[in-house]
């Protein structure tokens, strides 16, 4: 029996439930000094110039600066984009490299600078420190949670989430609206799971019976997700036939990804939108699975392996390789093939 029984509610009631569950900081802005934000991050590779007491009300992009919203704003500039910062508009604080600072037109309009070789990372840390939306620790009343499920302290469980029997959810996990965690799923601390995900459904495994009809192979394994993982919306992660489908710590999975039964994703690996990792495939640590990549079942990919967009990976590969194309091959071979094709189309021979 589920802990919360579904009862249809009027839209007005649902909206009233949502208003106190999640409040965007941009709707309720808070002012911070740059100095107060800097206290919460690692400044080992950063220096501050100008007035650190400047007040900041929100992070801003170039369009917002052009609209005059940069006077109390925190912005950042990617190297090479210095000329895109709108001229003549003030900015309260700017995060950039020391080289970029020298290229900014009219630098006097910038009241404070955070100079670092990694401006995007430092900007993200500052935004997280002062402006990122925060969800309360609560279980929304429309969530359905089996009595045997274990939910750690500080979790947010969204509207119409279903958590089945035997699930184990670590501390400070966020599971957003309409996601389903099926029986026995394990989720490590500080992991975030987006909306409309299905995690722990039976994998797609079939044989044919004596009459040639599809016969489902029982999928009796589970899904194990590590700590500090990020799983975005509309993603499916299937339970293993035996054992575990596993995401190690600090894995980031984009929207619309399918991870099949028995797959293993190594720590700190990124899996980007529309990718498909087939059954029992193993991906090492610190990898990059690009958008729309397909990885064949049962193969093993090494650490720090990169794939090009749309690659179809059909055989195992070792550490530190970059695979591109369909079927995928090491980028050096792919480039050699492109050169050979160019010679052929131009009618030349070596």
Domain that holds residue 302: 197-333
Who has greater pLDDT, 31 or 299? Answer: 299
Range in 26-40, 258-272, 302-316 with the lowest mean pLDDT: 26-40
- Grouping H, G, I as helix, E, B as strand and the rest as coil, residue 245 is strand
Per the structure, the count of domains in the chain is 2
CATH assignment at residue 244: 2.160.10.10
For residue 14, is it within any domain? no
CATH assignment at residue 94: 3.40.1390.10
Q: Are 159 and 177 in contact (CB under 8 A)?
A: yes
The residues with which 261 forms a beta bridge, in sequence order, are none
**Whole-number pLDDT of residue 196:** 98
**Whole-number pLDDT of residue 134:** 85
The gap between the terminal CA atoms of the chain, to the nearest Å, is: 74
Average pLDDT over residues 6-17: 36
For residue 82, is it within any domain? yes
Is residue 331's pLDDT more than 70? yes
- The model carries a pTM of 0.85
Based on the fold, state whether residues 220 and 307 are members of the same structural domain. Answer: yes
Catalytic residue set: 261
**Whole-number pLDDT of residue 343:** 85
The residues with which 114 forms a beta bridge, in sequence order, are 48, 95
Nearest to residue 175, comparing CAs of 226, 255, 222, 233?
233
Q: Describe the chain by its helix, strand, coil percentages, rounded to 5.
A: 15, 30, 55
Using 50, 70 and 90 to split pLDDT, how confident is the model at 22? very low
**What digits encode the pLDDT tens for the residues 235-272?**
999 999 999 999 999 999 999 999 999 999 999 999 99
Nearest to residue 232, comparing CAs of 282, 180, 175?
175
Percent of the chain surpassing pLDDT 90: 82
Q: Are 329 and 347 in contact (CB under 8 A)?
A: no
**Whole-number pLDDT of residue 249:** 98
For residue 12, is it within any domain? no
For residue 175, is it within any domain? no
**174-175, strands of its sheet edge to edge:** 138-139, 156-157, 174-175, 192-193, 230-231, 252-253, 270-271, 288-289, 306-307, 322-324, 329-330
């Amino acid at each position: 029996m589920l802990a919360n029984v579904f009862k249809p509610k009027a839209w007005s009631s649902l909206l009233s439930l949502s208003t106190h569950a999640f409040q965007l900081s941009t709707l309720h802005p808070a002012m911070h000094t740059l100095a107060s934000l800097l206290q919460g991050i690692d400044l080992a590779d950063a220096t501050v110039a100008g007035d650190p007491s400047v007040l900041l009300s929100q992070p801003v992009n170039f369009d917002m600066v052009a609209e005059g919203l940069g006077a109390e704003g925190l912005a950042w500039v990617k190297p090479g984009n210095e000329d895109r910062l709108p001229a003549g508009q003030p900015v309260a604080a700017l995060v950039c490299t020391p080289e970029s600072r020298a290229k900014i037109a009219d630098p006097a309009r910038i009241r404070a600078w955070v100079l670092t070789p990694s401006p995007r990372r430092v900007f993200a840390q500052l935004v997280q420190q002062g402006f990122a939306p925060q969800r309360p620790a609560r279980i929304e009343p429309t969530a359905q949670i089996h009595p045997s499920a274990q939910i750690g302290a500080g979790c947010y469980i969204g509207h119409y989430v279903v958590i089945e029997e035997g699930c184990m959810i670590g501390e400070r996990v966020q599971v957003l609206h309409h996601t389903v965690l099926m029986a026995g799923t394990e989720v490590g601390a500080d992991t975030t799971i987006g909306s409309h995900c299905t995690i722990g459904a039976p994998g797609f495994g079939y044989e044919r019976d004596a009459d040639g009809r599809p016969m489902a192979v029982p999928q009796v394994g589970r899904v194990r997700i590590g700590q500090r993982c990020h799983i975005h919306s509309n993603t499916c992660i299937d339970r293993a036939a035996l054992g575990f489908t596993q995401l190690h710590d600090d894995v980031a999975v984009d929207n619309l990804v399918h991870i099949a039964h028995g797959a293993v994703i190594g720590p700190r690996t990124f899996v980007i939108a529309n990718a498909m990792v087939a059954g029992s495939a193993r991906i090492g640590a610190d990898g990059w699975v690009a958008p729309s990549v397909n990885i064949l079942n049962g193969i093993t990919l090494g650490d720090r392996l990169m794939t090009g967009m749309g690659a179809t990976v059909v055989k195992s590969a070792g550490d530190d390789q970059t695979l591109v194309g369909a079927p995928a091959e090491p980028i050096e071979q792919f480039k050699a093939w492109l050169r050979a094709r160019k010679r052929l189309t131009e009618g030349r021979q070596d």
